[in-house]
Amino acid sequence: MPHILHLHSTFAAGGKELRCTRLINAFGPGVAHSIVSAVPERMEAMQHILKQISVAYPQDFPPLAGKPFPGRLQKLAKAMQGYDLVLTYNWGAMDAVMAHTLFGEVLRLPPLIHHEDGFNEDEVHRRKWGRNWYRRIALGRAAGLVVPSEKLEEIALIEWNQPIGRVKRFANGIATAAFTRKPQPDALRGVVKRRGELWVGTLAGLRPVKNLPRLVRAFSGLPEEWQLVIVGDGPQQGAIRAEADRLQVGHRLHMPGFAAEPERYVGLFDIFALSSDSEQFPISVIEAMAAGLPVAAPRVGDIADMVAPLNAPLISAAGSDVALAEAIAVLAQDPRLRTEIGAANRARARAEFDETVMIDRYQRLYASAMRRETLP
Protein backbone atom coordinates (compact mmCIF):
# COMPACT_ATOMS: atom_id res chain seq x y z
CA MET A 1 0.00 0.00 0.00
CA PRO A 2 1.52 3.36 -1.00
CA HIS A 3 1.85 5.82 1.89
CA ILE A 4 1.57 9.56 1.14
CA LEU A 5 2.74 12.28 3.54
CA HIS A 6 0.79 15.57 3.39
CA LEU A 7 2.42 18.70 4.84
CA HIS A 8 -0.11 21.54 5.03
CA SER A 9 0.18 25.22 5.90
CA THR A 10 -3.09 24.58 7.76
CA PHE A 11 -5.67 21.80 7.65
CA ALA A 12 -8.64 24.03 8.38
CA ALA A 13 -11.68 23.31 6.20
CA GLY A 14 -10.78 25.74 3.41
CA GLY A 15 -10.67 25.27 -0.34
CA LYS A 16 -7.31 23.54 -0.73
CA GLU A 17 -7.89 21.35 2.33
CA LEU A 18 -11.30 20.16 1.14
CA ARG A 19 -9.85 19.46 -2.30
CA CYS A 20 -7.21 17.36 -0.57
CA THR A 21 -9.83 15.39 1.36
CA ARG A 22 -11.83 14.76 -1.81
CA LEU A 23 -8.72 13.37 -3.49
CA ILE A 24 -7.90 11.22 -0.45
CA ASN A 25 -11.43 9.80 -0.49
CA ALA A 26 -11.28 9.23 -4.26
CA PHE A 27 -8.00 7.30 -4.02
CA GLY A 28 -9.78 4.90 -1.67
CA PRO A 29 -8.61 2.52 1.06
CA GLY A 30 -5.75 1.24 -1.09
CA VAL A 31 -3.65 4.31 -0.20
CA ALA A 32 -2.51 5.30 3.30
CA HIS A 33 -2.01 8.93 4.33
CA SER A 34 -0.26 10.88 7.08
CA ILE A 35 -1.25 14.53 7.54
CA VAL A 36 0.69 17.29 9.32
CA SER A 37 -0.42 20.91 9.76
CA ALA A 38 1.85 23.90 10.36
CA VAL A 39 -0.98 25.14 12.59
CA PRO A 40 -1.69 22.02 14.67
CA GLU A 41 -4.88 23.41 16.21
CA ARG A 42 -6.49 23.88 12.76
CA MET A 43 -7.41 20.35 11.66
CA GLU A 44 -11.11 20.73 10.85
CA ALA A 45 -10.79 19.20 7.38
CA MET A 46 -10.02 15.79 8.90
CA GLN A 47 -13.76 15.42 9.55
CA HIS A 48 -14.35 15.13 5.80
CA ILE A 49 -12.18 12.02 5.28
CA LEU A 50 -14.08 8.76 4.96
CA LYS A 51 -13.72 6.36 7.88
CA GLN A 52 -12.46 3.49 5.72
CA ILE A 53 -9.38 5.49 4.67
CA SER A 54 -6.14 4.78 6.56
CA VAL A 55 -5.05 8.18 7.92
CA ALA A 56 -2.52 9.07 10.62
CA TYR A 57 -1.80 12.45 12.20
CA PRO A 58 1.81 12.24 13.47
CA GLN A 59 2.23 14.16 16.70
CA ASP A 60 6.02 13.86 16.76
CA PHE A 61 6.65 15.40 13.33
CA PRO A 62 9.02 18.41 13.52
CA PRO A 63 7.22 21.77 13.38
CA LEU A 64 6.77 23.10 9.86
CA ALA A 65 7.18 26.69 11.07
CA GLY A 66 10.43 28.15 12.37
CA LYS A 67 13.78 29.55 11.31
CA PRO A 68 15.31 27.69 8.33
CA PHE A 69 18.50 26.70 10.15
CA PRO A 70 20.31 23.66 8.69
CA GLY A 71 19.76 21.52 11.80
CA ARG A 72 16.01 22.10 11.77
CA LEU A 73 15.77 21.47 8.04
CA GLN A 74 17.70 18.22 8.43
CA LYS A 75 15.21 17.07 11.08
CA LEU A 76 12.35 17.84 8.68
CA ALA A 77 14.08 15.89 5.94
CA LYS A 78 14.66 12.84 8.13
CA ALA A 79 10.97 12.88 9.12
CA MET A 80 10.05 12.42 5.44
CA GLN A 81 11.86 9.09 5.22
CA GLY A 82 9.78 5.97 4.83
CA TYR A 83 7.00 7.44 2.72
CA ASP A 84 6.33 6.87 -0.98
CA LEU A 85 5.38 10.45 -1.85
CA VAL A 86 5.49 13.83 -0.07
CA LEU A 87 2.86 16.45 -0.89
CA THR A 88 3.38 19.99 0.40
CA TYR A 89 0.92 22.87 0.36
CA ASN A 90 1.46 26.65 0.23
CA TRP A 91 4.09 28.89 1.83
CA GLY A 92 3.54 27.44 5.30
CA ALA A 93 5.15 24.17 4.16
CA MET A 94 7.99 25.71 2.13
CA ASP A 95 10.65 24.89 4.74
CA ALA A 96 9.83 21.22 4.21
CA VAL A 97 10.31 21.73 0.46
CA MET A 98 13.71 23.33 1.14
CA ALA A 99 14.66 20.49 3.45
CA HIS A 100 13.78 17.99 0.74
CA THR A 101 15.92 19.82 -1.82
CA LEU A 102 18.94 20.11 0.50
CA PHE A 103 18.92 16.60 1.96
CA GLY A 104 16.73 14.58 -0.40
CA GLU A 105 19.51 12.94 -2.35
CA VAL A 106 21.72 11.94 0.56
CA LEU A 107 18.74 10.66 2.59
CA ARG A 108 17.12 9.04 -0.45
CA LEU A 109 13.82 10.78 0.20
CA PRO A 110 10.66 10.02 -1.78
CA PRO A 111 9.58 12.39 -4.57
CA LEU A 112 7.92 15.65 -3.52
CA ILE A 113 5.14 17.58 -5.26
CA HIS A 114 4.30 21.09 -4.07
CA HIS A 115 0.89 22.80 -4.36
CA GLU A 116 0.31 26.57 -4.38
CA ASP A 117 -3.23 27.94 -4.15
CA GLY A 118 -2.79 31.64 -3.39
CA PHE A 119 -1.37 34.23 -1.05
CA ASN A 120 -2.07 35.85 2.30
CA GLU A 121 -2.59 39.59 2.74
CA ASP A 122 1.15 40.34 2.76
CA GLU A 123 1.64 39.08 -0.82
CA VAL A 124 -1.68 39.92 -2.46
CA HIS A 125 -0.40 42.69 -4.73
CA ARG A 126 3.29 41.90 -4.84
CA ARG A 127 5.33 38.90 -3.81
CA LYS A 128 8.15 39.46 -1.34
CA TRP A 129 11.49 39.21 -3.11
CA GLY A 130 13.03 37.17 -0.29
CA ARG A 131 10.25 34.61 -0.47
CA ASN A 132 10.53 34.48 -4.25
CA TRP A 133 14.23 33.61 -4.00
CA TYR A 134 13.53 31.07 -1.27
CA ARG A 135 10.86 29.43 -3.44
CA ARG A 136 13.20 29.33 -6.43
CA ILE A 137 15.83 27.42 -4.45
CA ALA A 138 13.43 25.24 -2.46
CA LEU A 139 11.50 24.04 -5.52
CA GLY A 140 14.69 23.08 -7.36
CA ARG A 141 14.23 19.32 -6.88
CA ALA A 142 10.44 19.11 -6.74
CA ALA A 143 8.83 16.51 -8.99
CA GLY A 144 6.00 18.93 -9.72
CA LEU A 145 4.43 22.26 -8.79
CA VAL A 146 0.64 22.25 -9.01
CA VAL A 147 -1.34 25.49 -9.35
CA PRO A 148 -5.07 25.97 -10.03
CA SER A 149 -5.06 29.26 -11.94
CA GLU A 150 -3.54 30.90 -14.98
CA LYS A 151 -2.25 33.78 -12.83
CA LEU A 152 -0.41 31.43 -10.46
CA GLU A 153 1.02 29.55 -13.41
CA GLU A 154 2.42 32.84 -14.72
CA ILE A 155 3.90 33.68 -11.30
CA ALA A 156 5.49 30.24 -11.01
CA LEU A 157 7.10 30.47 -14.44
CA ILE A 158 8.30 34.08 -14.23
CA GLU A 159 8.72 35.14 -10.60
CA TRP A 160 9.78 31.75 -9.26
CA ASN A 161 11.73 30.84 -12.40
CA GLN A 162 10.31 27.33 -12.60
CA PRO A 163 10.79 25.21 -15.74
CA ILE A 164 7.63 24.80 -17.77
CA GLY A 165 7.72 21.02 -17.42
CA ARG A 166 7.54 21.21 -13.63
CA VAL A 167 4.48 23.48 -13.43
CA LYS A 168 1.09 21.77 -13.72
CA ARG A 169 -2.12 23.82 -13.92
CA PHE A 170 -5.04 21.71 -12.71
CA ALA A 171 -8.39 23.46 -12.42
CA ASN A 172 -10.25 22.76 -9.20
CA GLY A 173 -13.29 20.54 -9.53
CA ILE A 174 -16.28 19.47 -7.47
CA ALA A 175 -19.06 16.87 -7.57
CA THR A 176 -21.34 19.14 -9.58
CA ALA A 177 -24.33 16.79 -9.50
CA ALA A 178 -24.58 17.12 -5.71
CA PHE A 179 -25.50 20.82 -6.08
CA THR A 180 -28.58 20.27 -8.23
CA ARG A 181 -30.91 19.37 -5.37
CA LYS A 182 -33.18 22.15 -4.09
CA PRO A 183 -32.35 22.76 -0.41
CA GLN A 184 -34.84 23.02 2.43
CA PRO A 185 -35.34 26.51 3.95
CA ASP A 186 -33.64 25.35 7.17
CA ALA A 187 -30.72 23.57 5.48
CA LEU A 188 -28.20 26.11 6.82
CA ARG A 189 -27.65 25.67 10.53
CA GLY A 190 -28.83 28.64 12.56
CA VAL A 191 -30.46 30.53 9.66
CA VAL A 192 -33.86 29.84 8.12
CA LYS A 193 -34.86 31.37 4.81
CA ARG A 194 -38.31 32.86 5.32
CA ARG A 195 -40.99 33.43 2.73
CA GLY A 196 -40.32 36.58 0.73
CA GLU A 197 -36.63 36.78 1.65
CA LEU A 198 -33.88 37.01 -0.94
CA TRP A 199 -30.27 36.17 -0.07
CA VAL A 200 -26.91 37.47 -1.15
CA GLY A 201 -24.58 34.76 0.10
CA THR A 202 -20.91 33.90 0.25
CA LEU A 203 -18.58 31.18 1.53
CA ALA A 204 -15.32 32.58 2.83
CA GLY A 205 -12.83 32.48 5.63
CA LEU A 206 -13.29 35.66 7.68
CA ARG A 207 -9.78 36.94 6.93
CA PRO A 208 -8.60 40.40 5.79
CA VAL A 209 -7.77 39.19 2.27
CA LYS A 210 -11.45 38.32 1.74
CA ASN A 211 -12.40 41.95 2.52
CA LEU A 212 -15.90 41.08 3.71
CA PRO A 213 -16.58 44.60 5.06
CA ARG A 214 -16.53 45.57 1.35
CA LEU A 215 -19.28 43.03 0.72
CA VAL A 216 -21.32 44.55 3.55
CA ARG A 217 -20.94 47.99 1.94
CA ALA A 218 -21.86 46.67 -1.52
CA PHE A 219 -24.94 44.96 -0.07
CA SER A 220 -26.13 47.83 2.11
CA GLY A 221 -28.12 49.63 -0.61
CA LEU A 222 -30.41 46.68 -1.38
CA PRO A 223 -34.09 46.73 -0.33
CA GLU A 224 -35.22 45.38 3.03
CA GLU A 225 -36.22 41.93 1.75
CA TRP A 226 -32.60 41.16 0.89
CA GLN A 227 -30.46 39.41 3.52
CA LEU A 228 -26.68 38.98 3.58
CA VAL A 229 -25.47 35.50 4.59
CA ILE A 230 -21.75 35.01 5.21
CA VAL A 231 -20.78 31.38 5.85
CA GLY A 232 -17.35 30.90 7.39
CA ASP A 233 -15.28 31.64 10.46
CA GLY A 234 -12.15 33.62 11.23
CA PRO A 235 -10.73 36.68 12.98
CA GLN A 236 -12.64 39.33 11.00
CA GLN A 237 -16.08 38.51 12.39
CA GLY A 238 -16.15 41.56 14.68
CA ALA A 239 -15.07 43.95 11.92
CA ILE A 240 -17.76 42.62 9.59
CA ARG A 241 -20.50 43.03 12.20
CA ALA A 242 -19.26 46.50 13.09
CA GLU A 243 -19.47 47.61 9.46
CA ALA A 244 -23.00 46.21 9.17
CA ASP A 245 -24.06 48.06 12.31
CA ARG A 246 -22.47 51.28 11.05
CA LEU A 247 -24.48 51.02 7.84
CA GLN A 248 -27.64 50.04 9.76
CA VAL A 249 -27.97 46.63 8.09
CA GLY A 250 -26.88 44.56 11.08
CA HIS A 251 -30.40 43.12 11.40
CA ARG A 252 -30.05 41.73 7.86
CA LEU A 253 -26.62 40.17 8.34
CA HIS A 254 -26.42 36.45 9.21
CA MET A 255 -23.12 34.79 10.13
CA PRO A 256 -23.75 31.15 11.06
CA GLY A 257 -20.04 30.27 11.14
CA PHE A 258 -18.46 27.47 9.17
CA ALA A 259 -20.93 24.98 7.71
CA ALA A 260 -19.85 21.73 6.07
CA GLU A 261 -21.46 20.21 2.98
CA PRO A 262 -22.18 23.39 0.98
CA GLU A 263 -24.16 21.33 -1.51
CA ARG A 264 -26.89 21.18 1.15
CA TYR A 265 -27.47 24.93 1.41
CA VAL A 266 -25.73 27.01 -1.32
CA GLY A 267 -28.89 26.76 -3.42
CA LEU A 268 -30.64 28.94 -0.82
CA PHE A 269 -28.66 31.93 -2.10
CA ASP A 270 -30.18 34.06 -4.86
CA ILE A 271 -26.87 35.79 -5.64
CA PHE A 272 -23.41 34.50 -4.84
CA ALA A 273 -20.91 37.27 -4.11
CA LEU A 274 -17.20 37.57 -3.38
CA SER A 275 -15.36 40.72 -2.29
CA SER A 276 -11.79 39.43 -2.05
CA ASP A 277 -8.65 41.44 -2.69
CA SER A 278 -7.05 38.23 -3.99
CA GLU A 279 -8.30 34.90 -5.30
CA GLN A 280 -6.90 32.37 -7.73
CA PHE A 281 -9.45 29.71 -8.71
CA PRO A 282 -11.99 29.72 -5.85
CA ILE A 283 -13.87 26.48 -5.34
CA SER A 284 -16.75 28.44 -3.82
CA VAL A 285 -17.43 30.03 -7.22
CA ILE A 286 -17.63 26.59 -8.85
CA GLU A 287 -20.02 25.47 -6.10
CA ALA A 288 -22.23 28.50 -6.71
CA MET A 289 -22.21 27.90 -10.46
CA ALA A 290 -23.11 24.23 -9.98
CA ALA A 291 -26.04 25.33 -7.80
CA GLY A 292 -27.32 27.52 -10.64
CA LEU A 293 -26.44 30.91 -9.15
CA PRO A 294 -25.26 34.16 -10.73
CA VAL A 295 -21.94 35.42 -9.41
CA ALA A 296 -20.96 38.99 -8.51
CA ALA A 297 -17.25 39.30 -7.71
CA PRO A 298 -14.13 41.40 -8.31
CA ARG A 299 -11.97 40.64 -11.34
CA VAL A 300 -9.25 38.81 -9.43
CA GLY A 301 -7.55 35.52 -10.26
CA ASP A 302 -9.36 33.46 -12.89
CA ILE A 303 -12.93 34.32 -11.81
CA ALA A 304 -13.84 36.19 -15.01
CA ASP A 305 -12.82 33.16 -17.08
CA MET A 306 -14.51 30.66 -14.76
CA VAL A 307 -18.06 31.98 -15.03
CA ALA A 308 -20.27 31.62 -18.10
CA PRO A 309 -19.92 34.39 -20.75
CA LEU A 310 -23.38 35.67 -19.79
CA ASN A 311 -22.11 36.23 -16.23
CA ALA A 312 -18.80 37.83 -17.22
CA PRO A 313 -20.08 41.45 -17.34
CA LEU A 314 -21.01 41.14 -13.64
CA ILE A 315 -17.38 40.49 -12.67
CA SER A 316 -16.44 43.99 -11.53
CA ALA A 317 -13.26 46.00 -11.32
CA ALA A 318 -10.94 44.74 -8.59
CA GLY A 319 -10.77 46.84 -5.43
CA SER A 320 -13.90 48.88 -6.15
CA ASP A 321 -16.76 48.97 -3.63
CA VAL A 322 -18.88 50.90 -6.12
CA ALA A 323 -18.40 48.45 -8.99
CA LEU A 324 -19.24 45.46 -6.81
CA ALA A 325 -22.34 47.22 -5.45
CA GLU A 326 -23.49 47.98 -8.98
CA ALA A 327 -23.07 44.36 -10.09
CA ILE A 328 -25.04 43.09 -7.09
CA ALA A 329 -27.76 45.72 -7.69
CA VAL A 330 -28.15 44.70 -11.35
CA LEU A 331 -28.75 41.11 -10.33
CA ALA A 332 -31.00 42.05 -7.41
CA GLN A 333 -33.29 44.07 -9.67
CA ASP A 334 -33.75 41.41 -12.37
CA PRO A 335 -34.94 37.93 -11.31
CA ARG A 336 -35.10 36.78 -14.92
CA LEU A 337 -31.46 37.70 -15.46
CA ARG A 338 -30.52 35.82 -12.29
CA THR A 339 -32.25 32.71 -13.62
CA GLU A 340 -30.67 32.93 -17.07
CA ILE A 341 -27.15 33.49 -15.75
CA GLY A 342 -27.59 30.76 -13.12
CA ALA A 343 -28.58 28.23 -15.79
CA ALA A 344 -25.58 29.17 -17.94
CA ASN A 345 -23.24 28.88 -14.96
CA ARG A 346 -24.61 25.46 -14.02
CA ALA A 347 -24.06 24.15 -17.55
CA ARG A 348 -20.50 25.48 -17.60
CA ALA A 349 -19.69 24.00 -14.19
CA ARG A 350 -20.86 20.56 -15.31
CA ALA A 351 -18.92 20.74 -18.56
CA GLU A 352 -15.66 22.26 -17.29
CA PHE A 353 -15.28 21.77 -13.55
CA ASP A 354 -16.61 18.39 -12.54
CA GLU A 355 -14.27 16.66 -10.13
CA THR A 356 -13.87 13.51 -12.25
CA VAL A 357 -11.45 15.37 -14.55
CA MET A 358 -9.54 16.87 -11.61
CA ILE A 359 -9.21 13.54 -9.79
CA ASP A 360 -7.90 11.81 -12.91
CA ARG A 361 -5.23 14.47 -13.39
CA TYR A 362 -4.00 14.23 -9.80
CA GLN A 363 -4.03 10.43 -9.89
CA ARG A 364 -1.86 10.40 -13.00
CA LEU A 365 0.60 12.95 -11.59
CA TYR A 366 1.01 11.27 -8.21
CA ALA A 367 1.29 7.80 -9.72
CA SER A 368 3.91 9.00 -12.22
CA ALA A 369 5.98 10.57 -9.42
CA MET A 370 5.98 7.23 -7.58
CA ARG A 371 6.73 5.40 -10.85
CA ARG A 372 3.48 3.50 -10.66
CA GLU A 373 1.02 2.91 -13.47
CA THR A 374 -2.03 3.66 -11.35
CA LEU A 375 -3.00 4.91 -7.91
CA PRO A 376 -3.65 2.84 -5.88
Length of the chain: 376
Q: What domains sit in the chain, N to C, each tagged with a CATH number?
A: 3-173+355-369 (3.40.50.2000), 176-352 (3.40.50.2000)
Q: What angle do CA 81, 87, 93 make, to 5 degrees?
A: 90
pLDDT at position 136 is 96
Q: Name the pTM for this structure.
A: 0.79
From residue 198, alpha-carbon distances to 94, 202, 252 in Å are: 43, 13, 11
Contact criterion met (CB below 8 Å) for 266 and 202: no
Around 376, how many Cα atoms within 13 Å sit in the side-chain half-sphere? 16
Report CA torsion sign: 346, 349, 350, 352: positive
User: Which residue from 291, 310, 308, 295 is spatially nearest to 348, judged by alpha carbons?
Assistant: 308
For the CA atoms of 368, 371, 373, 376, what is the dihedral angle to 10 degrees? -90
Cα–Cα nearest to 168, from 366, 355, 307, 33: 366
At 280 the pLDDT is 86
* pLDDT value, residue 29: 96
* pLDDT score, position 119: 79
**pLDDT for the residue 348:** 96
Is residue 93 exposed (0-12), middle (13-18) or buried (19+ Cβ within 10 Å)?
Answer: buried
Residue 342: predicted pLDDT: 98
pLDDT 10s digit of each residue in the chain, 376 long?
999 999 999 998 888 898 999 999 999 999 999 999 999 999 999 999 999 999 999 999 999 999 999 999 999 999 999 999 999 999 999 999 999 999 999 999 999 999 999 877 677 678 889 999 999 999 999 999 999 989 899 999 999 999 999 999 998 899 999 999 999 999 998 899 999 999 999 999 999 999 999 999 999 999 999 999 999 999 999 999 999 999 999 999 999 998 989 999 999 999 999 999 988 889 899 999 999 999 999 999 899 999 999 999 999 999 999 999 999 999 999 999 999 999 999 999 999 999 998 999 999 999 999 999 988 8
